Structure 1
Amino acid sequence: MMLAVIVLTGCGDKEVSYTDTGMAAIESLDYTGALEAFDSAEEAGENMRLILRGRGMVYMAQLRYDEAIDAFTQALNLSTGVPESLDYDLNYYLAAAYYKAGRLEDAHGVYDAILTLKSGEYNAHYLRGIVSLEMGDYESALEDFRKAISLNDGDCDMIIDVYQILAAQGYKEAGRDIISECIASHSDISDYDYGRFEYYLGNFDSAKTYLENADKGDSAQITLFLGRTYEALGDYNYAISLYNTYLDKNHNAPNIYNQMGLCQMKMERYAEALSSFQAGMNTEDKSIMQTLKYNEIVAYEYMREFRTAANLMKDYIALYPDDAAALREYEFLKTR
């Protein structure tokens, strides 16, 4: 049986629960260790709902969606009957498991149930909109997206997410309409957000102007979008100079390293792109590690180092088995 972790603090020793140990293992992608920790948590009599939640998260990561659905459902069945934050959290996970399993109607039904209890849950409207769109119900999806944006006070990140979702499903003009509606109804949009909107609307010269005038408080994101804008205008060299200038002072910026690598790929400077992706992987921020690992493999492939690419892809699939595109690419690499 796994031993609970002891954390030394200034005020004495603090025992970390097996459940916490399991959740930490999930974060480090150690799914076997996580399940062992949750088994130990059950033996120790820890909160069963949290244990089942953790197991469900592991099963999701392992593509064992039916088992994930069972785990989340069992956890919900242990509810007191009075909805609390954990119940909503579990329902969101259950809906996600249904969605991943291709059970769109069941996922839709869970979001219906959430919104019956809390009609102001903008995230449930947003996610139900995604499901409706995949079910072919464009009008209902658009209604949910607009409701989510309204409830979330016109959040610019959500508006851009909605645009990208609609564009990916062939409704780019509808996405642009939503951006335009936001611009028309809000007078307090920052130069940064205005620049992002103009970028997605395809108005790159205007986007460049707004982004160059933006408050540099969030300079990483501004640099990212300004660089992308220059790339869209065909000025790759200036985009690279922007990324390098930022990285000279801020090394912990994996998104900037990744975008610089993508720009270098467009310029067919594959060895430099590889170095950029690997530099991003070596930062403290691991939030886009999956993207960087995949792009590293693509760089090796363009450098015609197929054996290295295939070996890395094998490791990648072990970590991220739900990446269907990567699985197809691996089959190709094995033949090279």
Structure 2
Amino acid sequence: MRKLKKLEKLLFVGLLLNMIIMLTGCAEAGGYYRSGKKYFANGNYEEAVRYFTSAIDENPNRAEYYIDYGMALIGLSRYEEAIEQFDRVIMDKKIALVLANNKRALRGKGIAYFSMLDYRESINQFEDALDLDVLSDLDMDILYYKGKALMYIGAYKQAAETYTDIVTQFGEEAQVLADRAYTYQKTGEHEKGLDDYDKAIALEANNYEYYFRKFYLLREMGRDTEANELLSQAAEIEVKTKADKFNLAKIHFYQGLFDQAFPELSESFANGFKDAYFYIGEIYTNKKDYSTAKYYYEKYIEEGGINTPEVYNQIASCLIKMEEYEQALPYLETGIGYAHNDMMRVILKNEIIVYEKLGDYEKALTKLQSYISDYPDDKEAKREETFIISRLSNISNDINNE
């Protein structure tokens, strides 16, 4: 009997110790997790990853640890790893807590694919997240990402519908209205676009970006006088910050006041606004000083650490003007890697031009036929195809006659 009581006592002490160890581990995990959240909120993703990893090591059974770990990995551009963390969370169970975790994880996967420029897969993930009738406070953010992804694949009508869903469910937000205005611009519904830009400006009268976007639309519509008046209106915004100074320099650039814009843009670059060198490059392009323009575009990439299809296309365009066709090709190929939709069309057409200039008509024809397959509405490209085929035929006849 005494032995039995002693055994029961030992079992109780063992269970108690296990509980203490488990509770200590959970407490430590919670501390690591809270620290990770703080670092994440401050944009220190490396430290956030370290603490989230420690939290998972201490307690691998908390879904939120994996979700926030995945979001921190996105902040470090480690997208594939982030997707792996989100996949660890997703479960096929109709329990409210599980569904909430699934929605957060699907949103994370959508953002990861979006950041990898895989917009179609990101749309799939966002739609799966929206199908879950939990955490409705995430819906506006998810819908906004979905709208941007649809824009990037050129699905402007669907993007407009998505932004309209946001407005209907959550009210008018300036950024949403401005993005919807852009989709209307791309579908040729210009007046609707102008109306949305006006609403965005009314909501955020000091946001230069909305003035610039409306300016582009007015110029596209051939309403140059109104476009210039809009720039003058934007120039009246009170300059309070270095960002305002940069935007004023951009206004002067668009007004064609290059001598005034140049020192302002140089100052803005020194103040950390890396885009300023791109605009200086544009000034020299306008002056037909392509060598200097190329220099500033490359400085924009090197010092700004920015890779956009626009800047690679501009460098290639400068080289084409300088008849340095072989040098232009690598820039175009790099630009294609970053491009989507409208910019892709521009770069692909420049690539075809380069092969024609190099006299490589067979390669030009192959590229052109691939382009026409993607953009069958381009009548100019079809005329160019006829010309290149004729050119190749003439070359073949010349060879046979020799």
Shorter-chain TM-score bucket reads 0.5 to 0.7
2:92 is aligned with 1:92 = no
Structure-2 change in CA distance of 1:305 and 1:219 (3 Å): farther
2:314 maps to what in 1?
Answer: 259
| Higher percent of residues as helix | 2
- Mapped to 2, the partners of 1:114 and 1:248 lie a distance apart of 35
How big is each residue's C-alpha offset from its partner over 1:88-110, in whole Å with a ceiling of 9 and x where there is no partner?
A: 13323555677778684x75554
Give 1:221's aligned residue.
Answer: 275
TM-fit CA distance, 1:145: 0.8
Shift of 1:183: 0.6
Q: Which amino acid aligns with 1:192?
A: F
Shift of 1:190: 4.5
2:13 is matched with none
* 2:328 match: 273
Partner AA of 2:324 in structure 1? R
TM-aligned CA deviation for residue 225 of structure 1: 0.9
2:265 aligned partner: 211
Query: Residues 324, 198 of structure 1: CA spacing in aligned structure 2 closer, same or farther, 3 A cutoff?
Result: farther
State the match for 1:233 in structure 2.
287
Q: Is the 8 A contact 1:125 1:147 kept in 2?
A: yes
1:184 aligned residue (236, 260, 266): 236
Q: Equivalents in 2 of 1:248, 1:139: separation in Å?
A: 36
Aligned pairs (5 A) from 1:76-225: 76-80=130-134, 83-84=136-137, 86-93=138-145, 95=147, 104=157, 108=160, 110-119=162-171, 121-133=173-185, 138-152=190-204, 154-188=206-240, 190-212=244-266, 214=268, 216-218=270-272, 220-225=274-279
C-alpha spacing 1:312/1:250, structure 2 compared with 1 (3 Å):
farther
The answer to whether structure 1 residue 299 and structure 2 residue 354 are counterparts is: yes
Cα pair 2:313 2:347 within 8 Å, conserved: no
Bigger Cα Rg: 2
Question: Cα deviation per residue 1:230-267 (whole Å; 9 max; x = unaligned)?
Answer: 221222233344456x3797494545554332212222
Q: Give 1:168 deviation, angstroms.
A: 3.3
Change (3 A) 1:170 1:40: farther
Higher relative contact order (CA 8 A, sep 6+): 1
TM-aligned CA deviation for residue 126 of structure 1: 0.8
Is the contact made by 1:301 and 1:309 (CA closer than 8 Å) also made in structure 2?
Answer: yes
Structure 2 counterpart of 1:274, one-letter code: L
- Identify if the C-alpha distance between structure 1 residues 139 and 20 changes in structure 2 by more than 3 Å, giving closer, same or farther: same
Report the secondary structure of 2:136's partner residue: coil
Secondary structure of 2:253 counterpart: helix
Cα 1:269–1:128, aligned 2, differ >3 Å: closer, same or farther?
same
Aligned to 1:3: none
Is it true that 1:49 corresponds to 2:103 in the alignment? yes
What secondary structure does 1:218 align onto? Answer: coil
The answer on whether the counterparts of 1:216 and 1:222 sit within 8 Å (CA) in structure 2 is no
Q: Is the 8 A contact 1:133 1:141 kept in 2?
A: yes
Unpaired runs of 5+ residues, structure 2, are 1-48, 61-65, 393-402
Aligned to 2:20: none
Match of 1:185, SS? Answer: coil
Distance verdict in 2 for CA 1:83–1:259, change over 3 Å? same
Residue 215 of structure 2 contacts residue 231 of structure 2 at CA under 8 Å; is this kept in 1? yes
The answer on whether the counterparts of 2:275 and 2:304 sit within 8 Å (CA) in structure 1 is no
- Deviation at 1:182? 0.9
1:10-60 CA-to-partner distances (Å, cap 9, x unmatched) read 96677867x969x98xx9999xxx8xx9799566978543576657979x9
Taking a change above 3 Å as real, the CA distance of residues 94 and 312 of structure 1, as seen in their structure-2 partners, is: same
Q: What displacement does 1:119 show?
A: 3.5
Q: Which amino acid aligns with 1:204?
A: F
For these two proteins, the number of residue pairs brought into alignment is: 303
Consecutive unaligned residues of structure 1, counting only runs of 5 or more, are 1-7
Change in 2 beyond 3 A, CA 1:62/1:176: same
Q: Residue 302 of structure 1: CA displacement?
A: 3.2
Q: Aligned partners of 1:219 and 1:101: how far apart in 2?
A: 29
Could you tell me which amino acid in structure 2 is paired with residue 226 of structure 1? I
